[in-house]
Amino acid sequence: MARHNFSDMFYSTMIGDTSFSVLKRYENLQPIGSGAQGMVCSALDTETGEKVAIKKLNRPFQNVTHAKRAYRELVLMQLVNHKNIVSLLNVFTPQDCRDEFTDLYLVMELMDANLCQVISMDLDHERLSYLLYQMLCGVKHLHSAGIIHRDLKPSNIVVKSDCSLKILDFGLARSAGSNFMMTPYVVTRYYRAPEVILGMGYSENVDCWSVGCIFGEMIQGQVMFPGVD
């Protein structure tokens, strides 16, 4: 990431209670979502004429855990190139020296909605099948690259009006076979495989279970396995 003079390259604006300091090429910021990892806005990239999504990571360097998650998401999005994986277009920080480096922004392609919104719609068999096919294609590509997503859920899957689908949010992803702690706290509860719940070792198959739960929810219109523990 290149260092730039703040006054020349960036401007600041408030989005709700969150301050966004972005490159001047990105205009007309509008909030489109927020979560534990940060806030996302849509914007117009005046250099390309395309609409994009800008994600401000929430306190990415607050502690080692947050820093590792931000690093994983950035690296994996740079490495993975597939039509069913959301593309990383740019990365920047408004800070011009390491000692002040606190904010990180990811610029991604903009989609129209996530599956949470799509699930409430009355989709025909053809559209349901096509969405499932794309989910599986994206997951297969991740697994072929030795990556376990570990947090597949409707809010992490986005679609366009033409029914094209992409997977995002790689903050909890890991390399398959890597020496990481097999924590049961990955994957949102409703989409968590039995071996994760039982604290057993797990592999790429946990992503396949999550896809099955998501697809079942799309058919039924409600969560397949609700519960509080």
Helix axes 205-220, 125-144, angle to 10 degrees: 170
Alpha-carbon gap, residue 228 to 166, rounded angstroms: 29
Q: What angle do CA 4, 41, 172 make, to 5 degrees?
A: 90
Strand-pairing partners, residue 39, are 34, 56
Tokens of 99: 């000692």
Active site residue 207: no
Alpha-carbon gap, residue 94 to 14, rounded angstroms: 15
Phi, psi of 131 (to 5 degrees): -65, -45
Alpha-carbon gap, residue 52 to 64, rounded angstroms: 29
Task: Name the catalytic one among 8, 96, 122, 151.
Answer: 151
Alpha-carbon gap, residue 104 to 21, rounded angstroms: 10
Q: Which positions are annotated as active-site residues?
A: 151
